[in-house]
Amino acid sequence: MIRLLFFLLIFLFGCNNSQPKKIVAAVVSAKKEASEIGIKIIEKGGNAFDAMIATDLALAVCYPSAGNIGGGGFMIYRTSDGQVGTLDYREKAPEKSNKDMFLDSDGNVIKGKSTIGGLSVGVPGTIAGLFEVHKRFGSLPFETLIEPAIQLARKGYVPTKNQLKNIELYKDLFVSINGKKTLFASNLKEGDRIINEALAKTLEVIKENGKDGFYKGEIAKHIVNNIKESGGILNINDLNNYTPKWRTPIYFKYKDLDIYSMGPPSSGGICLAQILSMIEPYNLNQYPQNSIKAIQLLVEAQRRSYSDRSKFLGDSDYNNVPIDYLINKYYLKNRMKSFSWEKASISESINPGDISTFESEETTHYSIVDNYGNAVGVTTTLNSSFGSKLFVEQGGFFLNNQMDDFSIKIGQPNLYGLIGGDVNSVQPNKRMLSSMTPTIVEKDGKLSLVLGTPGGSTIITSVLQTILNIYEYGMPVQKAVNSPRFHHQWFPDNIVFEPNAFGEKLIKDLKRMGYKIDPSKNKILGRVDAIYINQDNLLTAAADPRGDDNAQYLRE
């Protein structure tokens, strides 16, 4: 009896002191429901690509301001054997679009035309993108991956307080565009569930018929009719002909890191490469994080990079984008020649190089690493919150307003204040320039970090600062994500700071040197969702506390 008790004690003692199980996979996204659905797919034996499809579809249900089937996005991946690639499922301009489609007869921009309603809608790429990912990398049947989103749409989800506020903010617009009976105009109280039976049915049709279920047949007809009634030009050919594209990532070295990010039609990878290369010779970590010198250096590099963006970047299928030149270290060193520690550069005097409110709710990013070692980072969007606000009632989803990411008039700032050149003007079937920056970092040839964020034009600088916080300032990934951020984009010539996070003296000193700072423009910058893998292959996921973001793990 005593012996039995002894063994029982040993057993209980042993159990209580057992090591926490090792995290072998993680999914971090804007919503708990979506992260849970993603990790369950991995638990079932699916890989990161399977989890990507399930997470993306779940976000389309429970995060309708940015998660979508009516928008588009970019995926970066790294397989367990080290292959890195990207998929572009960005929206395209409809075939009937033209350069001046958002201008009146005097050549002035017609307010709201590129941001609200039918004309603002680009051809959605999400569903085609997900099927493309599945064809190349999927291991579980598509039916298994879409089923949780169908269930979620049917059973409903309880929106967070942030989501309720956001829906309330846009309610009048939803009604004015879609009528009083539109789903998201219903009176929602805290704790109510949003049930979207129409979306459940749409997803079932896609489950039955594959991507044709979306791009052909009844759903396609509903999309075209809704857009037409709202003054748009997107037609059935546009839907039938949409194809995603595998693209070579932007690759560059920063010190001992190998960094891969999204190339055109996103500006993200090129701008990230430019900014990091411009600051590389200065050894940033000699200046404390967010100190005056660190801010100066980054702001001046950002100013110069966003200036190049305005002139040289657009869809590389339609223009010659001089990528190699733009990320050439010698060119970038020269770009910084006019930088002085004494005083701010003036954006008016920085030209593109000579080569012969809750901003963040607009887009969403998620990161996944599976137990096989595959990594996926996806940034996907409707452009602004709830996109064009045009809701396909019969299908249960919003359509994007991505057309505003084109230069709707040369030199005229878009929704994000970004100025674009002719290289990004509207042309039939062309993809509009993006700032989305899903990124993968390797250290010593091994996967080290997967990250990305929403935030429009500020995406690039939020990704940048998170990378620097980890590799220059040695912060753990969660601290790196939480840390206050700032942003500069050439024009408007203004440093945007996160509210209440930077001291008055620092701001005064910067102003004295000529930096322009308008506190009324300060705002929350991004929501970075990242997964860091240390030298011992231990995973840590960081969900940005600026939103309702959530990380889920698989432990073994």
Residues with active-site annotation = 363
Please report, as residue ranges, which positions from 5 to 44 form the binding site for ligand GLY (by CB under 6 A): none
User: How far is the C-alpha of 501 from the C-alpha of 486, rounded, in Å?
Assistant: 10
Q: Other CB atoms closer than 10 Å to residue 253's CB: what's the count?
A: 14
In the complex, the smallest distance separating the C-beta of residue 383 from ligand GLY, rounded to whole angstroms, is 4
Query: Closer CB to ligand GLY, residue 158 or residue 415?
Result: 415
Tokens of 292: 């005056």
CB of residue 264 to ligand GLY, shortest distance in Å: 12
- Check binding of 307 to ligand GLY (CB under 6 A): no
> How is residue 147 written in tokens?
């089923």
**Binding flags for ligand GLY, 446-475, as an x/- string (CB under 6 A):** ----------x-------------------
Task: Give the separation between CA 42 and CA 554, rounded to whole angstroms.
Answer: 8
Q: Which residue's entry shows tokens 């638990």?
A: 43
Distance CA 374, CA 377 (A): 10
Residue nearer to ligand GLY on the CB measure, 261 or 552? 261
Site residues for ligand GLY, 417-446, by CB under 6 A, read 434-436
**How deeply is 187 buried, as exposed, middle or buried, from its count of CB atoms within 10 A (0-12, 13-18, 19+)?**
exposed
Q: Is 126 in the site for ligand GLY (CB under 6 A)?
A: no
Name the minimum Å distance from CB 129 to ligand GLY. 14
Q: What is the CA angle 132-133-134, rounded to 5?
A: 90
CB of 182 to ligand GLY, least distance (A): 23
Biggest alpha carbon–alpha carbon distance for the chain: 97
Which residue bears the tokens 């219903």? Answer: 186
Q: Is 383 in the site for ligand GLY (CB under 6 A)?
A: yes
Residues 92, 83: Cα–Cα separation, whole Å: 27
Q: Is the CB of 296 or the CB of 434 nearer to ligand GLY?
A: 434
84 residue type, one letter:
V
**Residue number with the shortest CB distance to ligand GLY?**
434
Is the CB of 213 or the CB of 456 nearer to ligand GLY?
A: 456
Residues binding ligand GLY: what is the number (CB under 6 A)?
9
- Our CB check for ligand GLY shows the closer of 436 and 530 to be 436
By CB under 6 A, the residues from 393 to 412 that bind ligand GLY are: 402, 405
DSSP E strand stretches across 413-479? 439-443, 446-451
DSSP states along 151-205: HHHHH-B---HHHHHHHHHHHHHHHHHH-TT-GGGS---TT--B--HHHHHHHHH
- Residue 240's CB is within 10 A of a number of other CB atoms, namely 12
Judged by CB under 6 A, the residue of 166, 290, 363, 425 near ligand GLY is 363
Choose which of 163, 381, 458, 552 interacts with ligand GLY (CB under 6 A): 381
Nearer to ligand GLY, 73 or 118 (CB): 73
* Residues found near ligand GLY in the complex (CB under 6 A): 363, 381, 383, 402, 405, 434-436, 456
